[in-house]
A and B are shown apart, each in its own frame.
Chain A
Amino acid sequence: MKKFKKYAASKAGRDTLLSFGIVIAGYIYLQVMVATGNISSLLESLLVPICAYVIMAVSLNLTVGILGELSLGHAGFMSVGAFAGVVTTTCLAEAIPSAPLRLAVAILVGGICAAVAGVIVGVPVLRLKGDYLAIVTLAFGEIIKNIINVLYIGLDSTGLHFSLLEQRFELAEGGEMIINGPMGVSGVSRLSTLTTGFVLVLITLFLILNLINSRAGRAIMSVRDNKIAADSIGISTTRYKLMAFVISAAFAGMAGTLYGMNYTTITAAKFDFNTSILILVFVVLGGLGNIWGSIIAASLLTILPEVLREVGEYRMLIYAILLIVMMLFNNSPLKARLLEKRGMKQMSKLEKNGKEGA
């Protein structure tokens, strides 16, 4: 018990407990609401997307908050995961009859494919810094979207066929198109549920919080705080930048699979620049490097536009105003004073200790 108290008092412990607490409480609340039928059908349709966006926000926070590099192409990795997941579940439809297991395999494949995309994008991009890096990630996000937009994949008894730009293969009798170019995917069976989403959120939190509180995590944060100093104490900054970027992409891929398997039709256009920015907004509003902040921001801002449908055409106006208010609070003297108080407490304690020592 004493050990637990000490753990809860440390910053790492507090963040971990808060993050898991929020997610578990949210899940229980939603499950009770669903079970008692107190949930609107609108909100019910948002349950899986909320989970997916929470994972997206937490994973982007790894790049933006922990590594300190602005990435504007996160939705690109999400789409890689979504489409890789659809192809996997379609191919494995007969091999693995159990839907949850098939989804788990699809999520894993989605994560791996997105990680590979992360390496391909990361190697050239991470040579750049700051604004330049942000702009190039934006470009890569668009490139990924456009490639998937012209991708044709079909499955028949002879195996998997694919081509770019136009459909250059004929499917045998009984074959089906999985990805049909700009038309995307249609007629997939929906496999994602709130519980799978919840489990995936927990796994993501477990791994990312573990990473932050470890040797690799400290190395990543040291690159953010001072690259030259990190180099000077023997940390390969390129390696850890790439590591953070690829892990971030992998989780975005898994979130993408989860998201994609929640709909019967998906198109690459869904994962455009706007989605990347939306996720960045979650991260910035939740606080850079603050994992539980990302969870709250992602959930609230996913629900908000839907709840605001009641006010009709003023919806986006109110949404925008709320964003501005939250931003103002984040930079307000009120919050600064709160933080300052914490810093001052440390300072005054230091002085007291010094006097006692003298």
Chain B
Amino acid sequence: MAMLEVTSLGISFGGLRAVDELSMKIEEGGLVGLIGPNGAGKTTVFNMLTGVYRPTDGGIRLDGQNLIGKKPHDICKMGVARTFQNIRLFSKLTVLDNVKTGLHNEITYSLAESLFHVGSYRKKERAMNERAMELLGVFGLESVADYQAANLPYGKQRKLEIARALATNPKLLLLDEPAAGMNPNETAELMETIEVVRKRFGVTVLLIEHDMKLVSGICEYLYVLNFGRLLAEGTPGEVLKNPEVVTAYLGE
């Protein structure tokens, strides 16, 4: 059974059919790309997968469990984490606290312990710090742990967002244009990081991307969306040769 099964998913905003009859299957441990021209509905798919939008038709199942109608924070608890196209960090918190907030449901203690700093507070906070620093280490961010997130340069903010998502210990990681706004060097570095993350955390990755080099370099399987409909699917080699996909991207 596939880890994520999406069956004839569709959503309408008023008269606009943003996504229609989309079916996808992602196996555990896979690295799958979701590509398509601007406005194809890729981010809308992410928003439906994470419960931000409720689909009008179709089904989403994660390891056989239904995700439709669940709240975003419950879907996260079931093992789906994501990053955003326009970076959404907790800008006034420090880099370390951003990741510690991601650990919210991983390492827990009660409100009374929060208010009085008694019981397991110290032990749990120390565990949180260690775990967060370890995650920051994967992304080379330990040296900036005390900085306010808003003061980080762009590339590091992108990495921090991935670190925060990983802190929730997800089974499925959704990356929305992780390479947007990066130069070729940074993109190459990011490709490596994604590989490392996948191996080290054993997480399945679905990513939206425009950068064809990145997509063909690391993705094992691609889904191409155009005007909300599935245009093609297959390995990067097959898909990028597909005349319909070329037309969708470059025009007639």
- Cβ contacts B180-204/A at 8 Å (1 or 0 each): 0000000000000000000000000
Which of under 10, 10 to 19, 20 to 34, or 35 or more describes the interface residues of A? 20 to 34
Given A214-B121, A232-B82, CB of A221 within 8 Å of CB of B76: no
Is B105 positioned at the interface, with any CB of A under 8 Å from its CB?
Answer: yes
* A215 lies within 8 A of B143 (CB): no
**Bound complex: CA of A346 vs CA of B144, how far in Å?**
9
Is A191 positioned at the interface, with any CB of B under 8 Å from its CB?
Answer: no
Is A18 positioned at the interface, with any CB of B under 8 Å from its CB?
Answer: no
**Bound complex: CA of A346 vs CA of B151, how far in Å?**
8
Residues of A within 8 A of B125 (CB): 214
27 A-B pairs, CB-CB below 8 angstroms?
A210-B114, A210-B115, A214-B121, A214-B125, A215-B114, A215-B128, A217-B114, A218-B104, A221-B90, A221-B101, A222-B101, A224-B92, A225-B91, A226-B88, A228-B84, A232-B72, A232-B73, A233-B76, A233-B104, A233-B165, A233-B168, A234-B77, A234-B104, A234-B168, A346-B148, A346-B151, A347-B151
Given known contacts A207-B116, A231-B72, what 9 new A-B pairs fall within 8 Å (CB)?
A214-B117, A215-B108, A215-B114, A225-B90, A226-B90, A233-B167, A234-B168, A237-B73, A347-B151
Residue of A at shortest CB range from B116?
Answer: A210
Among candidates B52, B97, B108, residue contacting A218 with C-beta atoms closer than 8 Å: B97
* B164 lies within 8 A of A215 (CB): no
Residues of B within 8 A of A30 (CB): none
**Bound complex: CA of A289 vs CA of B92, how far in Å?**
10
Is B55 positioned at the interface, with any CB of A under 8 Å from its CB?
Answer: no
List the 6 closest A-B pairs by CB distance, nearest first: A234-B76, A214-B114, A225-B90, A229-B88, A231-B72, A216-B114
* A225 lies within 8 A of B116 (CB): no
Residues of A within 8 A of B128 (CB): 215
Residues of B within 8 A of A347 (CB): 151, 153
Minimum CB–CB distance for A274 against chain B, Å: 31
Is B24 positioned at the interface, with any CB of A under 8 Å from its CB?
Answer: no
Residues of B within 8 A of A207 (CB): 115-116
Residues of B within 8 A of A224 (CB): 92
* A215 lies within 8 A of B109 (CB): yes
Is B154 positioned at the interface, with any CB of A under 8 Å from its CB?
Answer: no
Among candidates A210, A235, A243, residue contacting B104 with C-beta atoms closer than 8 Å: A235
Q: Mark A residues whose CB is within 8 Å of B.
A: 10-11, 207, 210-211, 214-219, 221-222, 224-226, 228-237, 243, 289, 343, 346-347, 350, 353
* A218 lies within 8 A of B73 (CB): no
Is B89 positioned at the interface, with any CB of A under 8 Å from its CB?
Answer: yes
**Bound complex: CA of A232 vs CA of B104, how far in Å?**
12
Is B146 positioned at the interface, with any CB of A under 8 Å from its CB?
Answer: yes
Minimum CB–CB distance for B207 against chain A, Å: 16
* B73 lies within 8 A of A219 (CB): no
Minimum CB–CB distance for A204 against chain B, Å: 11
Q: Which of B161-183 contact A (CB under 8 A)?
A: 164-165, 167-168
Q: Among the interface residues B71, B82, B104, B153, which one has the most CB atoms of the partner chain A within 10 A? A: B104
Given A214-B117, A234-B73, CB of A229 within 8 Å of CB of B100: no
Is B16 positioned at the interface, with any CB of A under 8 Å from its CB?
Answer: no
Minimum CB–CB distance for A287 against chain B, Å: 12
Residues of B within 8 A of A210 (CB): 114-117
**Bound complex: CA of A76 vs CA of B201, how far in Å?**
50
* A232 lies within 8 A of B93 (CB): no
